[in-house]
Structure 1
Amino acid sequence: MTAAKIRSASLDDLSALLQLEDSFPEVDRFDVRTWRRLLAGKALTLVHETPRGIDAAAVLLFRARSSTARLYSISVATSARGQGIGGRLLAACEEHARQRGCARIRLEVRSTNSSAHRLYEASGYRVIAALESYYPDGEAAHRMEKVLIASSDGAP
């Protein structure tokens, strides 16, 4: 492997995914059981892999009969931040959602996570709701959304 690539994750990536979340607050980390369930087909999990290993991941959820995908998690290793990896993973998630016929993507982000807000806003997401005490530690979140496919009448 000579270059970085984005690919679907498998159970073989479990330990790397657990390590990747070490930079998250403990209450926001997925445990082994959650990762196993997500990797068993409950979600689309994409990883960014370099010759040194996995340095970023994103989890995208789809619901039956829903035109809205949900970005459940995106994480970039501290050592890999500032290189545009989060943006590339986000774009890959958006493309997968479009291919599945989703008209929009929604996500929740801590209201204090300014770097994530910058990433999402630069990618065309907008805040559609403020959610008080959303996280287990009581912190508020912003629900954000991006329209992927315009409706047939031209409205987003």
Structure 2
Amino acid sequence: MVTQKIISVRDVEPEDLPIIHEIAEESFKDPYPLSLLKHIYETKPEGFMAAEIGGEIVGYLIGLVRWSDVGHILAIAVDELHREKGVGSALLINAIDRLKNNGANRIRLEVRVSNEIAQEFYGKIGFKPRKVVPAYYSDGEDAVSMEYKCK
């Protein structure tokens, strides 16, 4: 018998921020500090989504509408033990729907040039490379700016 774990996506609550920060720290070279996550949450709580399996937060996404019609994915990360199980896809698809419903006609994100796995993941969802942004990250690495055109 095969058991399938159900992924649920929900709004983030303030008490979720420490676990979100832990996931960010294990996922990124230069994660947002907890103080910045709290600030973003306090100003735009609707931009935060958490993915759960069995009541445990296993991933998160921060996505906001900027410039009235452009969605921007600021961060997406999945706990190491739950990668390649559909968690990132569930978060991104939910975020696309939410951003579209909030007026976005296109959605952008940045990803490290060296992170080919993430670029491939975003490409499968429908994001296309736009341009390279030189020295985007604090360590000087370039970013690939990618865009999804909402239908």
For normalisation by structure 2, the TM-score amounts to: 0.90
CA distance in 2, matches of 1:15, 1:51: 18
Q: Is contact 1:10-1:39 (8 Å) kept?
A: no
Q: How far 1:8 moved relative to its partner?
A: 0.6
Question: Could you list the runs of 4 or more consecutive aligned residues of structure 1 that deviate by over 3 angstroms after TM superposition?
Answer: none
Partner of 1:7: 10
Q: How far 1:42 moved relative to its partner?
A: 2.2
CA distance in 1, matches of 2:142, 2:98: 29
Aligned residue pairs total 146
Aligned-pair Cα RMSD in Å: 1.5
Q: Please give the per-residue CA displacement for 1:30-60, whole angstroms capped at 9, x wherever unaligned.
A: 1121111122142511000122511100000
Q: Please give the per-residue CA displacement for 1:81-124, whole angstroms capped at 9, x wherever unaligned.
A: 01011111100000001111210100000011112111100011
Q: Please, which of 106, 111, 114 is the counterpart of residue 112 of structure 1?
A: 114
CA distance in 1, matches of 2:106, 2:90: 18
Long gaps (5+) in structure 2: none
For normalisation by structure 1, the TM-score amounts to: 0.87
Long gaps (5+) in structure 1: 150-156
CA distance in 2, matches of 1:24, 1:54: 14
Q: How far 1:3 moved relative to its partner?
A: 4.1
Partner of 1:91: 93
User: Is 1:147 equivalent to 2:145 in the alignment?
Assistant: no
CA distance in 1, matches of 2:28, 2:73: 18
CA distance in 1, matches of 2:6, 2:145: 34
Instruction: Give SS of 2:91's match.
Output: helix
Residue identity in the other structure for 1:126:
K
User: Is 1:55 equivalent to 2:58 in the alignment?
Assistant: yes
